[in-house]
Amino acid sequence: FPQKELPGQITGEASPGYAAYSAVPSRVLHHLPNVRILCIIRDPATRAYSAYHYNYLSVAHGNNVLPFEVLVKAEIHFLTWNCGVSLSRLANDANASSHKALDLSADCYAHSTPVEQTGKAADEWLRSKFPAAKPNALVTQRTAALPRANQHLWRQLVARSIYALYLVHWFRAGFSQDSIHLVCSERLARPQDAVAELDAIAHFLDLPQYNFAPAVQKGKYNAGSKHKGYHALSSWEEAQQLAEARPPIPPEAHRLIDEFSSPFNAFLFESLAPLSRGNLPRCDLEWTASLTSSPSRRQEEQQHKSSTSTSTRHHHDHSTSIPDFQHKDKRNSPHRDLVFSSSLYFNNNS
């Protein structure tokens, strides 16, 4: 952080890499007790698919690259049955400080291998792709499909989209609800909503009132392709064209992530951090709406409704209670508030 600031200025830093680790919140609170945290979150399926391109396809090579839907199916099964991830477990972790909360990195991923995680789903896909391959050859193909590079990222395509599983550690460490502000990435990416989102951020940081409209009208930064980089500006029309040119998320993977993540997202906004958005709309309601708005999505949901509703209720216990986190207003603190900008998704547009 700079040693000197001009009047009316505050400084911060963006560190998405360590936001998901349970040991970090207490350290941040110790060194920056009056910190304000901006947590930028994104549609879980969109975030996961972006991470798949950025963190898996960038390091996996050859003809045996696992499809997105195979990794998603395997990870959701792994999280549910191997890691014990459930809504009731999350609610218990949020409400009771007497026991250790589930730490996915330390308690789950550290004690398993990529082969154990991908398991049956990857084997079935490889057998269908290489039907004549002998067992030893399939082992070789599977090893090649699970690159060592970026394992801590591509193994958590879905997990890092369940934001409440990580934010619970920040609240348990002692952060009050008014010290963390959830920012909807989708609203920042739309000119009609970006100004309101930026106004809310400025208010949260106690910044002087500012007219963001002229800056928003200029276009979008870091839109992707030749416009990559936080200083790369493209018009809103160009940004829309880039977005439409990207490959769509496989519908089955989209549905699986939506069904798995929706209860956790509802818990995040209703119980874990109900004050995190102020008067702005909840992000998760838009995520769900975007999945069911298109004719193809509605048709797919109708086809799977009868076969998945029972299993979904079985795996996700919706009974929750509101965590008893202490609500403190730190805005009148005599100490200067610093800004710690933390993105729980990978900020790329692959």
Note the pLDDT of residue 2: 64
Binned at pLDDT 50, 70 and 90, residue 138 comes out as: confident
pLDDT in tens, 54-102: 999 999 877 679 999 999 999 999 999 999 999 999 999 999 888 899 9
Q: Could you give the CA distance from residue 39 to residue 19 in angstroms, rounded to a whole number?
A: 9
pLDDT value for 14 = 84
Query: Which residue matches tokens 């004050």?
Result: 275
Whether residue 246 is predicted with pLDDT greater than 90 in this model: the reply is: no
| Mean pLDDT score across all residues of the chain | 82
| Residue 240, CA distances (Å) to 114, 186, 295, 347 in order | 36, 13, 21, 17
Residues 94 and 55 sit within 8 Å (Cβ to Cβ): no
Confidence of residue 5 (pLDDT cuts 50, 70, 90): confident
pTM higher than the cut 0.75: yes
DSSP state of 326: -
Distance, CA of 62 to chain centre: 28
Which residue type does 86 have? S
pLDDT band, residue 346 (cuts 50/70/90) = very low
User: Alpha helices, DSSP H only, in the chain?
Assistant: 24-31, 44-51, 68-77, 87-95, 114-129, 135-145, 151-154, 164-172, 185-188, 191-204, 213-218, 236-245, 251-267, 283-292, 295-315
Which DSSP symbol is given to 332? T
Using an 8 Å Cβ cutoff, are 80 and 312 in contact? no
Residues 39 and 283: beta-carbon distance below 8 Å = no
Burial (CB < 10 A; 0-12, 13-18, 19+), residue 287, is buried
Cα distance between residue 127 and residue 125, in whole Å: 5
pLDDT at site 12 = 85
CA distance 48 to 314: 24
Whether the predicted pLDDT of 323 surpasses 50:
no
Residue 133 pLDDT more than 60? yes
Taking the mean position of all CA atoms in its chain, how far away is CA 17? Answer: 12
- Give the CB-side neighbour count of residue 89, counting CA atoms within 13 A: 15
For residue 245, give the H/E element and its range. Answer: helix 236-245
In this model, does residue 146 exceed pLDDT 50? yes
DSSP 54: I
